[in-house]
């Protein structure tokens, strides 16, 4: 139905607005933390939409949380676009680790798990979340190279993998996504490299 | 039943031997690659065990593949324990990326996906696969520090994360686990670091 409405012409049809305000309310509730129960009831209260309307579009609160996360999280990512590139990477990685430590982390882990057997879920996660975030990370790395903070000629994808891979590994496989100190150790290690200075050319 | 048999006394009871030879046959078949169909039939043929025996212990071929992988993969890991630590890391990461590119990669991705909602699967993967591999990787990194190839005082866990995290990220989330060239780019990046030489202290 929202697709039909969108095709109807210019302007924002009313049901599209309702959809957006439900997603926004869901995302906010979800994002406010563990002490805020995430229920369809609570989303209805905050968005002003009827529970029946919400259930018509999302059969479960998991489906609602997933779509809210994939459509809204990116727009609110805490990625500073100015200043030191290295400081910016540190801030962004710490924000992501903090996100991963809470229920958003469990949501993301669930989406990635789902993505192993569901190509649609995989595509939604890659297109809706991963790619836009990586594009922003790539810009900050490029800015760091241009500004002389980072080594010129770095392979940007590889740098992203080395910085973000550990957070996903820790989220999915290890016991926890790491605290601020773990992120600092990671950034320092990748910044300075692991080769002994004596053996550098 | 195998547990009962084990308690019966010294020596290796017959059904334990059968179990082991089924697991070994399963692992070998699985490991031989995509052109070797992985079926209970084929495992029965290779191990000499009856299909009914196999089904009694493992209800599905997925369950058999998982146990075979978790009990045998580690013992056959291609981790050279001598020579250059850096060369050793490169060899091991390439072997892992190669493994991840094939059906073992899909098996591992499936186990990790399962682990998000099943604490038993999580524990089996961490204890049976991840921890022993990381212990070996840690030894090679420590040897590299002791031998002057790697910077002294590195945080070994962080170095493991930076090197292995990207392979898991690529396996679970990106389109492919990467080829040999991608592993070389990763190792080079982590070895040399990403900070511009001018800004190093």
The neighbouring-strand residues paired with B190 are none
Say if residue A201's pLDDT is above 60: no
Taking the model in full, what pTM does it have? 0.84
Burial class (CB in 10 A: 0-12, 13-18, 19+), A192: middle
| B195 in A contact zone (CB under 8 Å) | yes
Selecting from A152, A155, A168 the residue whose C-beta is nearest the C-beta of B169 gives A168
Question: Is B195 in a helix, a strand, or coil?
Answer: strand
A and B: number of Cβ contacts within 8 A: 166
* HSE-up of residue B150 (Cα within 13 Å, Cβ side): 27
ipTM surpasses 0.90: no
| A117 in B contact zone (CB under 8 Å) | yes
Subunit contact B116:A116, Cβ cutoff 8 A: no
Selecting from A161, A186, A198 the residue whose C-beta is nearest the C-beta of B169 gives A161
Q: In the structure, what pLDDT confidence band is assigned to residue B191 with cuts at 50, 70 and 90?
A: very high
Q: What's residue B1's pLDDT?
A: 42
| A138 in B contact zone (CB under 8 Å) | no
Say if residue B122's pLDDT is above 60: yes
Residue indicated by tokens 């973000």: A164
Q: In the structure, what pLDDT confidence band is assigned to residue A3 with cuts at 50, 70 and 90?
A: very low
Q: What's residue A4's pLDDT?
A: 44
Q: Identify the CA nearest to B122 among candidates A141, A46, A109, A10.
A: A109
> Average pLDDT in the A157-184 region?
93
| B148 in A contact zone (CB under 8 Å) | yes
Which residues of chain B make contact with A182, given a CB cutoff of 8 A?
158
> Average pLDDT in the A158-168 region?
96
Q: What's residue B104's pLDDT?
A: 86
Question: Which domains are assigned to chain B?
Answer: 2-64 (1.10.10.60), 73-192 (1.10.357.10)
Helix/strand/coil percent split, chain B, to 5: 70, 0, 25
Find which of A118, A162, A179 to mutate to test the B interface (most B CBs within 10 Å of its CB).
Answer: A162
The number of beta carbons lying within 10 Å of the beta carbon of residue A181 is 9
Hey, what are B1's tokens?
């039943």
Subunit contact A159:B194, Cβ cutoff 8 A: yes
> Average pLDDT in the A53-76 region?
85
Hey, what are B14's tokens?
């017959």
Which residues of chain A make contact with B182, given a CB cutoff of 8 A?
158
Residue A166: closest CA among chain B residues belongs to which residue? B165
pLDDT in tens, A186-199: 999 999 999 998 65
| B184 in A contact zone (CB under 8 Å) | no
Q: What's residue B12's pLDDT?
A: 55
> Average pLDDT in the B54-66 region?
90
Q: What's residue A8's pLDDT?
A: 46
pLDDT in tens, A82-127: 789 999 999 989 989 988 888 889 889 999 999 998 888 888 889 8
Which comes out higher in pLDDT, residue A13 or B115? B115
Q: What's residue A191's pLDDT?
A: 96
Q: What's residue A74's pLDDT?
A: 63
Which comes out higher in pLDDT, residue A184 or A63? A184
């Amino acid at each position: 139905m929202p697709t039909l409405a969108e095709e109807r012409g210019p302007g924002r049809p009313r049901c599209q607005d309702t959809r957006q305000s439900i997603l926004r309310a869901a995302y906010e509730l979800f994002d406010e933390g563990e002490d805020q129960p995430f229920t369809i009831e609570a989303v209805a209260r905050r968005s002003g939409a009827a529970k029946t309307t919400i259930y018509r579009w999302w059969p479960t609160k998991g489906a609602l949380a997933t779509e809210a996360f994939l459509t809204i999280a990116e727009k609110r990512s805490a990625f500073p676009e100015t200043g030191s590139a290295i400081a910016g990477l540190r801030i962004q990685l710490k924000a992501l680790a903090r996100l991963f430590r809470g229920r958003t982390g469990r949501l993301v882990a669930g989406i990635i798990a789902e993505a192993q057997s569901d190509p649609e879920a995989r595509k939604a996660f890659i297109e809706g979340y991963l790619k836009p975030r990586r594009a922003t990370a790539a810009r900050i790395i490029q800015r760091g190279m241009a500004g002389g903070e980072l080594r010129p000629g770095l392979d940007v994808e590889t740098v992203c993998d080395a910085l973000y891979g550990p957070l996903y590994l820790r989220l999915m496989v290890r016991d926890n996504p790491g605290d601020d100190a773990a992120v600092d150790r990671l950034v320092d290690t990748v910044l300075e490299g692991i080769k002994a200075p004596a053996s550098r050319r």
